[in-house]
């Protein structure tokens, strides 16, 4: 049953009373006063080339909302960024779990359900109502002090609305208990859990996440960050200015639609000079062929022979 | 078998005889004479900024119909309003239960059905015909004096027609008994139960509730209520006039379709000055990008850099 | 095996021999000679405002065909009419059963099938071939003298063709036995059973009943009967002429398609003066918004503020 | 394994060797020499008004092909004709079985399959591989001398291709054995079985029977036969010339498409004068409303008030 | 694990090493040296009217590829031809098995799978992993010297890609072993098995066989072979020149699309003079009505009355 | 839980730390220093006619990415090439396993799941959580030194995204452990496994592999390689210049779309002179008929009679 608070001095508590506990945490663990986190952010920015301000904005948003989705085309480092942020939020990778959604992922496996289990001891099949991975994760976090992060890679590859079930409500109303239909258990999502998803914008055949679900998440757009490419190759000594020019041209002039931009992780390769032709022919060209499947002439403009003088490091 | 009442002095009873009992209750608990409820309404209006007259109209309609759906775009406070109304109707949050519909929700879990259950004691799987959550809720309410409210969040996220089953008929004909197909039990919905659903109008991919089902409910439209935003920030001291102007412009001029209006709960944030840029960039812009997915120029007009001078509190 | 009647004096028996028994009953219980029924019809007409001739025509058709569907838009009293007619046909509500079809309703539950059943006594699951509700209803009627009526509310909400199964044939060929595939039992539908369905014409997403199934039923159109409204408010003392004018205008000029006409049951409310604004704003306007979802200007013409002077009783 | 006949004097046997046995039967039971059958045909023609030559042609075709489909719009007497023909072919209704196809009908129920069966004696569920109805019917016929007829009413209401399974092949190659996948039994269809189906052409939403399946059947078109109407009312004394004129006009001028012609069985009613208005208003008008759902003006031309002077007997 | 052959003198073995064994067989059983087969072909040609060269080409192709599909419109003798070829290839009908694919046919029944089986002895249901029909057929052939032929009638009536499973690979790589997922058994298709399918081109609603699957088969087109008709009626003495002229005109001028040509087997009837009108009215006209469903005037051109003088033998 | 590496000297390790182990292997087993592999490549090129540089590029890419897809129209030697490469990568065919994906292939069979298993010993059905084929393959490879290759033929014939499940993540993050939902086992993909898929581009009805999945693979295009045809017939002595000219013309001028080019393996036939007409008529023409199904005139241009003088060897 819902908590009833007839009145409250904090205006926020009246409309968003369920978020009160974390709201206070946000103040206590305020960004400015946390020098360890500051150091981690700086290091992440330096190593990766991601803008420090971006990282700060992401963390601020994730703390405020409790969950975020990193979205963008393939090859832009969404999963990598989510993992680095998770480590900063928890201070230890011990509290980070990564799972991968896919069309076979079910509500029963994520929340709860009767799942057959074979007992080798007496050769019988048992059907306990087993906690799903998310409920298990919450129970672990509930009895602990630190922060916990669940990374859901390729979140939109499952039928999210069905797999999430009650989470639609509970992610927003942290701490509130509602009954799970199978076990009748009253379940809540603790305050110290963060959920980070990644979502690929180039696969339109996969159901995108709907408006109501989106509203529960901070939506963090990850496009191709050319500075990441530059920073990486500062250490390898390859000149990637020509490559970046060509990628920009392909993305902004030929493709145009940000959801389908070519990513930059294809080229995060120490021996770029040795492999760039392979990468171009067997990764970039097939991508362009699929995208421009009925415009061969556009693909031809960016085949290896046409661009090699520009992109070769 | 149906109750047969050959004639009746009250004209209403002849055509709507099943509603007679509650009709009397409505008169007894008439709005004007109930000063406790009046106080609750006043307090709700004051705290939230929702118009007192609106709240009164909602309660009047819910009493008359027995059930209502709060509908509107995401981020307009539908669930919050439903919860406050539920508390007013029951006088205590003890009698309020919230559930969340989702595509995995079944008739068996809501009404009744054979559901496997594992008995840990003797390691066997049992298959009792279990009451679903709604039947259980009715049985609890039936033996009690007070009012009970079931809140169904995101009602249209399940296949409502299938999950509701016999409720289509019973919600309208309160007190009438019809047989449930699995248990053959004669079941009725007691008069002292109210059902409040929320329905998101922005997710057209989700099946909307059909005409016949709608007729059973009072349909309460919840748009973005700018006064709620203003009332909230009376306490925080932020000037939100510019923000409201911009939201109105986006909603009425750019979006146009009320089912997709931007909500206002994004901005119910005590430290609005600190977070507004984050909110705009990671919540408002992605919403606009999705809505105007093929009209980049509209999105660009409302990006942070374009509106920050207007919306910054 | 089919009954073989090489020749027969009554021409009807040769082509429709299966209906012979009831045909005779029709003569015996002929409408004119049955004064009790006459009284019931008169009373129904008087109380409800439905035209006496209409009621007589409905009963005549139901007797002749054995089954009928009341069809029309929501809020026109289809279910109420079916229930009154059922009581007239049976003379007692004891022989009337109402069920509600919905997408979860199956052939197994309506006709017959193996349905798991948990035996609490010895904690085992049993799978008897259970009679479905309709077969059970027939078996009850078969051993009885009086008439029996099954009301199927929202008949087209289930996949009728699948749920009905053999009934397509047996409803027409009353008394004829055909084998049911699961139990191999020879089953027939007795003459003293009438089936009355209701069908909502406004929900096109729901599969409508096909031509072959329709032919088995008398199709009784129920539109908004303004006289019902008038009769009802003769007792309450409200003047509903203005309301009726406006409803007629909306139906005939704005909506135009009879399948989607606004019904009149919304206004069968004793305290119409007190509630009419609520009804209009929370029931009529949302209906119009959905119907004219891309013609806002039509909805605006009929919003409360625009029509209140005309419709207020 | 297929029967191997390297050469054969009868040219037919080489390409259609599987039909040889019945081909001979056809000669033995040749139409001309069978005076009993002649008498039956004459009687059927006289009673029903169906043309004697048509009946003869149907029987000739059914004997030659082994199976036939009576197709046409609803209300044309397809099922009645199939039943009369069945009785003529068998000489006794004992060898005629009627079943009704519907979407719940399965291969398992028609051909064979494991079907759970509850044994009340020892309260256990058993799963014998049970013969389906058709296999059972064949086994009965195989040990008998006479002809057997299976009538499948509304044949196209099931997914015929799936329910028939191996019959596609075996109906054509009578006597040939092929293995059934579940039981591994070698199964054949005996020569003395005839299969008569009915198919409704007005329900396009129902999958029609495909070309390959059609080729196995004689396709017998049954349109509205006005002589049947006339013959019927010779006995009742009603003048139906005006009615027939109007039906012809509706069919040939308004509807036009033979698959949707109005049938005549609506009017095979002894008290036609008493019921014709009911029939027109509650059976004919709804049919026209559905067919001309967006051409109200056509329906209006044929409403009762417009045609009553012409059609009243 | 794949066989590894680092180099090989026969160039074919390097790219198609899996076919080596049969390639040699082809040489041993070379067409020219096999007088028995020659005799069989001659006899088949003589009896049926099929061109001898066609038969030779078919057999040559089936030997080379291992499998073939006979495709064409209904009524062209595809199944008959497949059966005659099968007998020639095996020399005995003992080694020929015919099965009929249909939508209920599953991978489990064709390849392997757990299939429940009822043991009557002890009244229990058992679930052995049973070989499917094809695996069983292969195991039988593997231990034998002669050739074996599996005829799959109406091959495209099942979901071939799912039912065939691993066969896509194994039919091409004869003798190679790959693991079956259910039993983990290493399975291969022996060299002495031929698979002949028939495919109906007129039923477009049925999924056609895709390019990759087609490549495994020789595709043998069977159109209406008018010589077959002529040869047949050489023996019956009917003059079918006019009939053939009309069929040609319908096919080549009216229908045009070879996939939908009218077949000739309708007229392989010894008493053609007696039955031709029946055949035309109840088999040909319904075919044309379905094909030209919205071009009545074309059908009318070829109704019995219009063509009888031309086609009557 | 994810491995946490706060900082790392190798820039690659920060963004792609999961690939570190294999990256080093790549250096150790560098292409240039591996003379055995060089010899194998040379031999493969010589025997098959595939360009040596192409083979080198493929191997380089597969080593770098860990997995590749060979894609192209049917009949271009995709599977053959994958098998040869697999043998070169492993040095022994013992470590190569080929499986064939098809629509019946499930996540349970590929990754893990409860799969019923019949125990013949005690006649009971057991349900162990069985490793799927891929997990089994990984476990075998994990305890071994050499390289292992899994060839997935017709990869896109299964619903890859569902069957692969967690592999989407693990193929990229080699060595990283994530929990499998059914067994809760922490699973990783070892470095010494390579996955080679083939994908048919001509079957558009089959779901193609989406962008995110593609990014995990090197995409190797295999078109019709005319040199392969030439090399093959250097040994057979047939002149295939004319044939190649015609194939080129059909592919480049008539078909145009590379995804549908005619392959060359149809003509890898030692007795090409003897069989070419058969191949053309029963393999090439049906392919063209299907592709140009509504352009008969194009097919006619390339029928046997039209091209025989050009293509006959």
What is the DSSP track for chain C?
-----S--SSHHHHHHGGGHHHHHHHHHT-GGG-HHHHHHHHHHHHHH---HHHHHHHHHHHHHHSEEEEEESTTS-HHHHHHHHHHHHHSSGGGEEEEE--TT--HHHHTEEE--EEETTTTEEE--EEEPHHHHHHHHHHT-SS-EEEEEETGGGS-HHHHHTTHHHHTTSTT--EE-TTT--EE---TTEEEEEEEETT-TTSPPPPHHHHHTSEEEE----HHHHHHHHHHHT---HHHHHHHHHIIIIII--GGG---SGGG--TTHHHHHHHHIIIIIHHHHHHHTTT-HHHHHHTSHHHHHHHH--
pLDDT at A29: 40
Half-sphere exposure of D140 (CA within 13 A, CB side): 16
Least confident of B268-277, C84-93, E24-33: E24-33
CA separation (Å) from D279 to B94, C68, D267, D271, D311? Answer: 58, 12, 8, 11, 12
- For residues C164 and C170, give the distance between their C-alpha atoms in angstroms, rounded to a whole number: 10
Query: Could you tell me what percent of chain C has a pLDDT over 90?
Result: 67
Cα D86 → chain centroid:
10
Cβ contacts of C166 on chain D, cutoff 8 Å: 99-100, 102
Contact D18, D174 (CB under 8 A): yes
* Same-domain status, E181 and E46: yes
Q: Does E221 touch chain F (CB under 8 A)?
A: yes
- Residue C1 forms part of a structural domain: no
Domain boundary pick from D217, D236, D253: D217
Q: Are A253 and A182 found together in one domain?
A: no
pLDDT tens-digit map of A269-312: 999 999 999 999 999 999 999 999 889 999 999 999 999 999 99
Cβ of residue D60 closer than 8 Å to a chain E Cβ:
yes
CATH code at D81? 3.40.50.300
Mean pLDDT computed over D273-286: 96
Closest CB from B40, B99, B157 relative to A161? B157
Task: Please report the sign of the dihedral spanned by the C-alpha atoms of residue D57, residue D60, residue D64, residue D69.
Answer: positive
Which of D217, D235, D263 corresponds to the end of one domain? Answer: D217
Question: What confidence category does residue F251 fall into, taking pLDDT thresholds of 50, 70 and 90?
Answer: very high
For residue E207, pLDDT over 70 is answered with: no
Q: Are residues C109 and C183 in the same domain?
A: yes
Output b/e per residue, A38-75; b: 16+ Cβ within 10 A: eebbeebbebbbbeeeebbbbbbbbbbbbbbbbbbbbb
Output Rg (C-alpha) for chain B, integer angstroms. Answer: 23
Q: What is the pLDDT of residue F298?
A: 96
Q: What is the ipTM of this complex?
A: 0.84
Calculate how close chain D gets to C152, using CA atoms only, in Å: 19
CB contact under 8 A, F169 and A100: yes
D-facing residues of E in 160-199 (CB < 8 A) are: none
A73 Cβ under 8 Å from any chain F Cβ: yes
- pLDDT attached to residue C293: 86
Q: Is residue B104 part of a domain?
A: yes
Q: How many structural domains comprise chain E? A: 2
The pTM score is 0.86
| E258 and E188 within one domain | no
State the average pLDDT for chain F: 85
CB contact under 8 Å between D11 and E236, yes or no, is yes
Task: Report, as an integer, the average pLDDT of E269-282.
Answer: 95
- CA dihedral over D232, D237, D242, D246, signed as positive or negative: negative
Neighboring chain B residues of A71 at a CB cutoff of 8 Å? 286
Instruction: Identify which of F195, F189, F186, F177 has the alpha carbon closest to the alpha carbon of residue F67.
Output: F195
Residues of D in contact with E266 (CB under 8 A): 215
CB-based contacts of C212, cutoff 8 Å, min separation 6 = C168, D74, D154, D157, D200, D202, D203
Indicate whether B243 belongs to any domain.
Answer: yes
Distance CA B100, CA B43 (A): 27
Largest CA distance in chain E: 72
CA dist E205 and E201 (Å) reads 10
pLDDT in tens, C156-214: 999 998 999 999 899 999 999 998 888 888 999 999 999 999 999 998 666 677 888 89
Average pLDDT over residues E259-269: 95
Which residue, of B217, B250, B277, is where some domain finishes?
B217
pLDDT confidence tier of residue F62, bands split at 50, 70 and 90: very high
- pLDDT tens digits, B177-234: 998 888 888 999 999 999 999 999 998 666 667 888 899 999 999 999 999 999 999 9
| Shared domain check, A134 and A114 | yes
CA dihedral A208, A211, A213, A219 (to 10 degrees): 80
- Indicate whether E74 and E191 sit together in one domain: yes
In this predicted model, what pLDDT tens digit does every residue of E119-142 receive, in sequence order? 666 655 566 778 899 999 999 999
pLDDT tens, position by position, D148-206 = 999 999 999 999 999 999 998 999 999 999 988 888 889 999 999 999 999 999 986 66
F104 touches chain E (CB under 8 A): yes
Contact call for residues C283 and C266 (beta carbons, < 8 A):
yes
Residues of C in contact with D278 (CB under 8 A): 57, 60-61, 64, 218
Q: DSSP class of residue E302?
A: T
Contact B141, B193 (CB under 8 A): yes
CA–CA gap between residue E100 and residue E71 (Å, rounded): 15
Q: How confident is the model at residue B273 (pLDDT cuts 50, 70, 90)?
A: very high
Q: Does D121 touch chain E (CB under 8 A)?
A: no
SS3 state at F98: strand
Domain containing A45 equals: 13-217
> Are D75 and D98 members of one domain?
yes
Alpha-carbon distance of F162 to F157, in angstroms, equals 12
Residue B191 shares a structural domain with residue B231: no
**pLDDT score for E272:** 96
Chain segment E69-88, per-residue pLDDT in tens: 999 999 999 999 999 999 99
Closest Cα in chain E, distance from residue D233 (Å): 30
The verdict on residue E4 lying in a domain is: no
State what percent of residues in chain B have pLDDT above 90: 68
Report how far residue A60's alpha carbon sits from residue A65's, in angstroms, rounded to the nearest whole number. Answer: 9
Q: Are residues A128 and A40 part of one domain?
A: yes
In the predicted structure, residue B124 carries a pLDDT above the cut 70: no
Judging contact as 3 or more Cβ pairs under 8 Å, the answer for A and B is: yes
Q: Answer whether residue A99 is part of any domain.
A: yes
Degrees, nearest 5: CA angle C246-C250-C252:
110
Residue A2 resides in a domain:
no
Asked if residue D21 belongs to a domain, the reply is yes
Please check whether residue E3 lies inside any domain of the structure. Answer: no
**Which chain C residues contact residue B220 at CB under 8 A?**
282
The total number of residues written for chain E in this structure:
313
B102, B108, B112, B118 alpha-carbon torsion, rounded to 10°: -110
Chain B interface includes A3 (CB < 8 A): yes
- Determine the Cα–Cα distance for residues C58 and C69; give it in Å rounded to an integer: 10
Confidence of residue D115 (pLDDT cuts 50, 70, 90): low
What element of type H or E holds E193?
strand E193-200
Work out whether strand E67-72 and strand B193-200 pair parallel, antiparallel, or are unpaired.
unpaired
Q: Which residues are CB-neighbours of E255 under 8 A, at least 6 positions away? A: E261, E262, E291
Lowest mean pLDDT among C248-262, D39-53, D123-137: D123-137
Distance CA E129, CA E107 (A): 13
Q: Give B-chain residues touching A223 at CB under 8 angstroms.
A: none
Q: What does the pLDDT look like over E88-114, one tens digit per residue?
A: 999 877 899 999 999 889 998 899 887
Q: Does E109 lie in the same domain as E70?
A: yes
Rounded Cα gap, residues D270 and E182, in angstroms: 66
- Cβ-proximal residues to A112 (8 Å cutoff; 6+ apart), any chain: A129, A130, A131, A132, A135, A180, A182, A183, A185
**D15 has a pLDDT exceeding 70:** no
Say whether the E–D interface has 3 or more Cβ pairs within 8 Å.
yes
What's the CA gap between B158 and A162, in Å, rounded? 9
Do B211 and B245 lie in one domain? The reply is: no
Place of tokens 């439209």: B221
Please report, for residues B62, B198, B211, B222, C273, the alpha-carbon distance to residue B219 in angstroms, rounded to integers and kept in the order given: 10, 10, 11, 10, 20
Confidence of residue D119 (pLDDT cuts 50, 70, 90): low
What percent of the residues of chain E are helix, what percent strand, and what percent coil, each to the nearest 5? 50, 15, 35
Residue of F nearest to A291 (CA): F211
What is the pLDDT, as a whole number, of residue D126? 62
Report the chain F residue with the minimal C-alpha distance to residue E1. Answer: F97
Q: How confident is the model at residue F148 (pLDDT cuts 50, 70, 90)?
A: very high
- Do B137 and B155 share a domain, yes or no? yes
User: Which residues are CB-contacts of D117 (< 8 A; sequence separation ≥ 6)?
Assistant: C114, C129, D125, D126, D127, D128, D130
């Amino acid at each position: 049953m819902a908590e009833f608070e007839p009145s409250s001095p904090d205006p926020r508590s009246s409309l968003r009373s369920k978020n009160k506990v974390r709201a206070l945490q946000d103040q206590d663990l305020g960004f400015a006063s946390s020098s360890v986190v500051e150091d981690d952010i700086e290091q992440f920015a330096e190593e990766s080339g991601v803008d420090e301000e971006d990282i700060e904005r992401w963390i601020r948003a994730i703390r405020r909302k409790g969950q975020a989705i990193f979205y963008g085309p393939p090859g832009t480092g969404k999963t990598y960024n989510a993992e680095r942020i998770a480590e900063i939020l928890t201070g230890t990778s011990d509290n980070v779990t990564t799972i991968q959604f896919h069309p076979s992922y079910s509500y029963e496996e994520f929340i709860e359900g009767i799942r057959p289990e074979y007992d080798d001891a007496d050769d019988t099949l048992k059907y306990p109502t087993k906690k799903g991975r998310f409920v298990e994760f919450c129970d672990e976090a509930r009895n602990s002090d630190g922060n916990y992060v669940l990374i859901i890679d390729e979140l939109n590859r499952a039928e999210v609305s069905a797999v999430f079930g009650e989470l639609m409500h509970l992610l927003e109303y942290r701490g509130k208990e509602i009954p799970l239909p199978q076990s009748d258990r009253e379940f809540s999502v603790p305050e110290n859990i963060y959920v980070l998803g990644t979502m690929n914008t180039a696969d339109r055949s996969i159901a995108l996440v709907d408006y109501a679900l989106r509203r529960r998440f901070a939506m963090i757009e990850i496009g191709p960050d050319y500075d990441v490419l530059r920073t990486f190759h500062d250490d390898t000594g390859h000149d990637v200015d020509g490559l970046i020019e060509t990628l920009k041209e392909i993305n902004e002039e030929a493709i145009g639609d940000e959801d389908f931009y070519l990513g930059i992780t294809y080229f995060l390769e120490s021996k770029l000079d040795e492999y760039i032709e392979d990468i171009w022919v067997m990764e970039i060209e097939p991508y362009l062929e699929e995208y421009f499947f009925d415009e061969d002439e556009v693909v031809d403009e960016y085949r290896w022979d046409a661009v090699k003088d520009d992109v070769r490091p």
